[in-house]
Amino acid sequence: MRHLLLLSALGLQSLGTALAAPFGPEGSATAQPAALPPGVDVIETVFDRTPVERGLAFDRTGVKPASLTLKDGRPVDAWVCEESIEPAMRWTRSFRFTVTDPRFRQGGRPAVDLEITFHSPGFGSVRVKADTAAGARLIGSVWGNTKEWKTLRIPLDDAFFGARTDPADTAPSVNGFDLRIDGVNGPLYLRRVRLVGYDPDKDVHWPRMIKTSDLASPSTPGGVFAFTRQSGAQITARLQNLARVPRPLRYRFQVSGHDDKILHRAESSLLLAPSSTADVSLAFDPAGWPLGPCDGRLELFLDDDPAHPVYTRTFRIGIISSTTLAKARPGEFLYGLDAANNTIFPILTPAAFAWYRIMGVDILRNPWNKGMQENAADLKTALDALAAEDVQTSIMVDPPKDPDAGKRAGQLESKIAFLEETARLFTPAPGDPAAGKLRYYEMGNEPDLPHFYPAPIDTYVESYHAMYDAVKRGARGAGRGDADTVVMNGGLAFAGQESSRRAAEFVARVDASRLDAIAYHGHGPGIAAERTAWERLHTVAAASSPEKARLPFIETESGFSGVDPIGIAEQARTVVEKMTYAQSKGMPFFLYFRLFMEGAGAGIEGGYTMAENFVEPRPSILAYRHMVERLRHHRYVRQPDFAGEAGADGITAFLFEEIDAAARPAGRKTLVAFCEKPVRHELRLALGDATQSSSPQFFDLYGNTLPLSAAVASGVVTFGVGIDPVYLTWISPAAAADTAAVRVMPSLLSVDTTAPLLAGADNPLTVTVRNPHPDKPLSVTLSAEARARVAARIEPARHSVTLPVGEAVTLPLSLGLEPARQPLALPRWWTVFTDIDPARITPALRARIPATLPARTGGAPVVGRPALADGGRLNFGRLAGGFGENRTGLAYAIIDTPSAVTLDCGASGDWWMAWYLNGQPVMDTLETGNGQHGPISLHPFRLALRPGRNVLAVLVTSGRGGWEVLYGGPKELQIARATDDDPDSLALTLTDSSSGQLLASHKAPLRLQPPVPPLGDATPDLAHADTWLPLEPFAVAGRESITNEWEKDPDASRWYKGEADLSAAVWLRDDPAGNRLHLFLVATDDRHVAPSGSAAGALAAGDSFRVRLSAEAGRTLLDVTGALTGSGPVLAGAPDGVAFHALRQEKTAAADAATLYHLAIPKPLVGGMPFRVNLLLIDNDAGYPKQTLAIGDVEAPQTGLRAITQ
């Protein structure tokens, strides 16, 4: 397993990847390997219908030829194993190989790179064993559950290939063969298996034959790479020469901090003897280094090329404080871990114990070590080992899953006996130490997912009840009470439609009196994922019974998969955000997922890991440690509302207070704060009695001390908060719950930039500046600097003003923005087709927006429907009314640009996606899947737009957990890559005019809005609505814009029923050729009531609209009321030159019933200056005014949405 884990970090410069190109899944037997450099040889089996075996033969037992058609729609030859060849291991599907090339046999090529192209749809791993110099052993594995061909690459340095019988080999055994590949829980398809071998004697390929075989830390417990800021730090690198000739080398060792600043560099030389290893001591002194993650780098150089390393090994180092973390006292929150899949990785090792101590871990999910069995004796061994580390545990016991009811009943008896014995032996008495005992029981894992629990939910509930009763009986048998054990369900995943249905069914069916807590899983980034999961469970529990809604909810498995630097940084933030949120919800503990993870660095599964190669800490370990260091012996008190009370949008904060052994306040308070948006805020907090508050300290995510802004007013601190969690701690006698003592203070400096700013216009802004002094005026200077993707000017750039005592002053600014020369954002408006047949989508169908697309089922063609992707999230599942795995949708959008331009974009699909521009492919993840779902920076791509109109298309195929795509243009991609680097922002600073002291700073994000876009080739009439409906609307309004007159009336028929009842979309389009401004309005309304008169008042008595355009100061430019009456379209109040049309569209498969309106307005009416758009839509149902929809305010027109023509 270690070989696989090291794969991503070793920096292997082998030829394997370079040679893969001619042998994709569609490769044929006639394809020959690319030209090979001297000293490199290839043997392989290509699994055509008639297989080609070049130096590598395979055993035909249990395997057969097959033709496989996957996502690209092309049939590919392969061979498949569908049944186990070993009855005792019926879950395995196996291929076995013999090396026949004599150059590779008997250790002739000890260094080889193995490449396996496979498809394994089963929910399980693919594992590889080989005959090595050390005997038969597992050399690597990867998660299966594939939807496309996948290639696993494994370097092997001690290949022997003697087709030997190894008495020490364990099942599934290699005996008699050289290589064995096993798939689990489903058929295993192979397309190709290749071995690239390297000659160790002549023509040596040094980039492959020189490496580090191991890195170790002799100076730290468990050998983990976590060092305090003391001298004597050391890492030992074991350099290995795999060749049989000597090699002189020069090496360079470097450490850089998480800010990329080089902290240490050293160089030296050595001679590596043939087929040897040499230990090199890499010493460094971290005194004075910042706490947190560092990157180590070891480079090896050949004498004949000193400028370019022949080998590079990167690794992770953590710098930690010297504090020894205490454990939780009884009744305090327990910081926990789901340490590993302990059938794969041991969790009772020196390295694991070192991490538990470093991180301050209180509780583990499952105590079993690798190789242990589910019995009381092994459990005691594990509990004793953890007791020595003062670590508690919960235990997960799977209910029986056999489809045969008789077998299942027998298995349940064994489970019941084990649980009863366990509870009798290990339940702690009140007051006993919890470590070494067992209080928490989790019955299975994610029973709502059929691949974890395939039987019906009522069967699970039946087993759960029996297992619950067994625990309680066992505890009573030891003289314990029912409250001395906590029994909960297997954590519920709510991963998709069927999973959510089964989860809700469990909650509804389970007996509340036999449920001590409800376990759930909330994987995903940050607090948002955890909050969503908790609220979803609470909704389901409350719908079942108040009693279940009051039960504790416990998170038994939650993490985030980081597979790139941005994701790994998000993982560190996620640790803190999830665990502080859990405490705010009263959870007794939280189990973060996962310390050691299979396939670390090799994809989404491995991305969950916190420690790479067991000893290298990701930033998440260091963030976890500092969180425990700051919050140990603290209890959660409340959430100060910085967003509501100080206008700090996106800020979430949790206030904790330290308690003593008797749970009494000890005086220290700690505030944890972070921003859920990529914005930084300057916050102010009153700490309590100014004369008694002391020792305020401010720490970053990893424990480094940050400067606090000067406390201008006594007892009030100012501190900056962005997306990384920070900690503010101080001592005061005031109770943390006292909102009058510890309170949010208004910001000294604030500006509202939430409204869009017009490119091509001057935009007025108002800045509020506050005097913090309660007893004297203050002379200040306000400085402003604008940054934007268009030319920007801010006036005035400086304001000097004297602030009255304790008061606020508002100062005007004007931000002038030049017109945009390129699109400022990707479209939000899409035409979406769901459940299509991707194999029948031609390039021509991708180059335009069609009326219909071929259906997946071969039934009636699929009709496109409009959808708004707010916030860059297009959810196909919501549009389709749910989702199941492997459903495909295709969405189209229009992008206009005045000139050719290339946009840098990014996207994240759930789960497979492909992007097209004007019919041509741009980027896809159809073979690999998304890798992880969340950061759009994971899959960057470029859109080369042509002048005029462009058609953008995205194809998305659903995975197990969702059916959506997240996307963004250059602005969003830049923010995703550098989270506080918004290319459109306003930077404000406030200084004391007399002393020059910085009082406050604020960086406000800006939203830029382009001028009214051109009509282009769309036809400006209602008969050709299909030409302008796909274009981006100016505004879309629904429930949030509705005023219903009858919402408190007992007659529910009068209440608002949703978007089909009333909603609207407005298009504004500039027609320079016709010198007109076109306003299109689609008023979705399930019932049209035509007015009977033609005057404005009569029209307003029926279904109608009022549009009022005004200048910035409120002067009316146009004020009209329109309707579709029984005798046709009528427009009241229109000046000369305004044309009006209307028609009714009844409900279709593509759209709800709606009335379409069109105003053609002479452009001189609005001029070239900014104007405001206000709309009131009146809905009259059954002869009475039911509700209105408002965009802006027709009675206060200066509040409307801003616009400007070109």
Specify the CATH number for the domain of residue 263: 2.70.50.30
Query: Does residue 253 lie within any of the structural domains?
Result: yes
Residues 1157-1191 have pLDDT tens digits of 999 999 999 888 999 999 999 998 867 788 899 99
The pLDDT, as a whole number, for residue 32 is 45
The region of weakest confidence among 328-337, 362-371, 507-516, 934-943 is: 934-943
**CA dist., res. 781 & res. 796, Å (int):** 12
**Sorting pLDDT into bands at 50, 70 and 90, what band is 384?**
very high
Query: Does residue 328 lie within any of the structural domains?
Result: no
* Both tokens assigned to 99: 């090396």
For the chain, the maximum distance between any two Cα atoms, rounded to a whole number of angstroms, is 101
Sheet holding 135-143, edge to edge: 56-58, 92-99, 179-184, 125-132, 135-143
Residues 550-578 have pLDDT tens digits of 999 999 999 988 877 878 899 999 999 99
Helices then strands (H, E): number in the chain?
18, 71
Q: What percent of the chain has pLDDT over 90?
A: 67
Residues 1106-1130 have pLDDT tens digits of 999 999 888 999 999 999 998 999 9
The DSSP symbol for 790 reads S
Sequence letter at residue 1076: R
Q: Could you tell me the end-to-end alpha-carbon distance of the chain, in angstroms, rounded to an integer?
A: 63
The residue with tokens 């330290």 is 658
Sequence letter at residue 665: P
- The DSSP result for 650-661, as a single string, is TEEEEEEEEE-T
Q: Cis link prior to 911 (omega < 30° from 0)?
A: yes
Question: What value does the mean pLDDT take over residues 66-79?
Answer: 85
Same domain, 714 and 658: yes
Question: What value does the mean pLDDT take over residues 513-531?
Answer: 94
**Sorting pLDDT into bands at 50, 70 and 90, what band is 29?**
very low
Same domain, 118 and 156: yes
Domain boundary among 286, 320, 354: 320
**Sorting pLDDT into bands at 50, 70 and 90, what band is 267?**
very high
Query: Does residue 329 lie within any of the structural domains?
Result: no
Strand partners, 1186: none
Phi, psi of 790 (to 5 degrees): -125, 165
Same domain, 572 and 645: no
Instruction: Inform me whether the pLDDT recorded for 363 exceeds 60.
Output: yes
**CA dist., res. 370 & res. 376, Å (int):** 16
The DSSP symbol for 961 reads S
Helix (H) or strand (E) holding 473: helix 457-477
Domain limits for position 149: 2-198
Distance of CA 51 to the CA centre of its chain: 42
The pLDDT, as a whole number, for residue 403 is 81
Residues 1125-1161 have pLDDT tens digits of 989 999 999 999 999 999 999 887 667 899 999 999 9
Same domain, 510 and 472: yes
Same domain, 147 and 58: yes
Same domain, 122 and 217: no
Residues in the chain: 1206
Same domain, 923 and 944: yes
Sequence letter at residue 1086: D
Instruction: Inform me whether the pLDDT recorded for 385 exceeds 70.
Output: yes
Q: Is 514 exposed, middle or buried (0-12, 13-18, 19+ CB in 10 A)?
A: middle
The pLDDT, as a whole number, for residue 291 is 97
Same domain, 803 and 905: no
Q: Cis link prior to 594 (omega < 30° from 0)?
A: yes
The pLDDT, as a whole number, for residue 690 is 65
Nearest to 577 by CA among 504, 473, 452, 675: 675
Same domain, 471 and 516: yes
* Both tokens assigned to 219: 């100076």
**CA dist., res. 544 & res. 489, Å (int):** 16
Nearest to 1035 by CA among 1153, 822, 868: 868
**Each residue of 599-633: b (16+ CB within 10 Å) or e?**
bbbbbbbbbbbbbbbbbbbbbbbbbbbbbbbbbbb
Question: What value does the mean pLDDT take over residues 477-482?
Answer: 96
Query: Does residue 625 lie within any of the structural domains?
Result: no
Same domain, 488 and 565: yes
Strand (E) positions, 230-333?
233-241, 247-257, 262-272, 276-284, 292-302, 311-320
The region of weakest confidence among 61-75, 329-343, 1079-1093 is: 61-75
**Sorting pLDDT into bands at 50, 70 and 90, what band is 767?**
very high
Question: What value does the mean pLDDT take over residues 728-734?
Answer: 92
Three-class HEC string of 963-1001: CEEEEECHHHHHHHHCCCCCCCEEEEEEEECCCCCEEEE
* Both tokens assigned to 142: 């990867």
Q: Is the pTM of this model over 0.75?
A: yes
Question: What value does the mean pLDDT take over residues 14-21?
Answer: 38
Distance of CA 687 to the CA centre of its chain: 35
Specify the CATH number for the domain of residue 901: 2.60.120
Sheet holding 749-751, edge to edge: 749-751, 761-770, 808-817, 792-795
**Sorting pLDDT into bands at 50, 70 and 90, what band is 19?**
very low
Dihedral sign for Cα atoms in the order 704, 710, 716, 721: negative
**CA dist., res. 470 & res. 447, Å (int):** 19
* Both tokens assigned to 898: 């005045």
**CA dist., res. 719 & res. 355, Å (int):** 32
The pLDDT, as a whole number, for residue 806 is 77
Query: Does residue 1016 lie within any of the structural domains?
Result: no
Query: Does residue 628 lie within any of the structural domains?
Result: no
The pLDDT, as a whole number, for residue 1043 is 86
Query: Does residue 489 lie within any of the structural domains?
Result: yes
Residues 454-463: contacts with CB within 8 Å, 24+ apart?
Answer: 454/401, 454/403, 455/401, 455/403, 455/408, 457/502, 457/505, 457/506, 457/509, 458/505, 458/509, 459/408, 460/399, 460/506, 461/506, 461/509, 461/510, 463/399, 463/400, 463/408, 463/412, 463/415
The pLDDT, as a whole number, for residue 21 is 34
**CA dist., res. 629 & res. 426, Å (int):** 30
* Both tokens assigned to 568: 């790994």
**CA dist., res. 729 & res. 957, Å (int):** 48
Specify the CATH number for the domain of residue 169: 2.60.120.260
State the chain's mean pLDDT as an integer.
Answer: 90
- The DSSP result for 681-739, as a single string, is EEEEEEES-TTT-EEEEEE-TTS-B-PPBP-SSTTEEEEEE-SS-EEEEEE-SS-TT-T
**Residue 793 CA: distances (Å) to CA of 46, 751, 760, 786:** 64, 17, 12, 7
**Sorting pLDDT into bands at 50, 70 and 90, what band is 41?**
very high
Residues 661-713 have pLDDT tens digits of 999 999 999 999 999 987 888 899 999 876 676 789 999 999 999 988 655 45
Q: According to the per-residue pLDDT averaged within each range, which of 544-553, 557-566, 591-600 is highest?
A: 544-553
Contact (CB, 8 A) for 1001 and 700: no
Helix (H) or strand (E) holding 668: strand 665-675
- Count CB atoms within 10 A of the CB of residue 536: 17
Contact (CB, 8 A) for 890 and 919: no
Same domain, 26 and 105: yes
Specify the CATH number for the domain of residue 663: 2.60.40
Say how many domains are in the chain. 7
Specify the CATH number for the domain of residue 779: 2.60.40.10
Domain boundary among 747, 774, 799: 747
Nearest to 597 by CA among 340, 877, 916: 340
Same domain, 410 and 499: yes
Domain boundary among 270, 289, 320: 320
**Contacting residues for 569 by C-beta, under 8 A, at least 6 apart:** 562, 619, 979
Residues 782-823 have pLDDT tens digits of 999 999 999 999 999 999 999 998 788 999 999 999 998 889
**CA dist., res. 93 & res. 886, Å (int):** 24
Strand (E) positions, 1010-1153?
1035-1037, 1042-1044, 1063-1071, 1076-1084, 1104-1111, 1116-1125, 1128-1132, 1139-1145
Query: Does residue 275 lie within any of the structural domains?
Result: yes
Contact (CB, 8 A) for 324 and 294: no
**CA dist., res. 811 & res. 889, Å (int):** 50
* Both tokens assigned to 626: 């500092």
**Contacting residues for 623 by C-beta, under 8 A, at least 6 apart:** 572, 573, 575, 576, 701, 702, 725
Residues 214-250 have pLDDT tens digits of 899 998 999 999 999 988 899 999 999 999 999 999 9
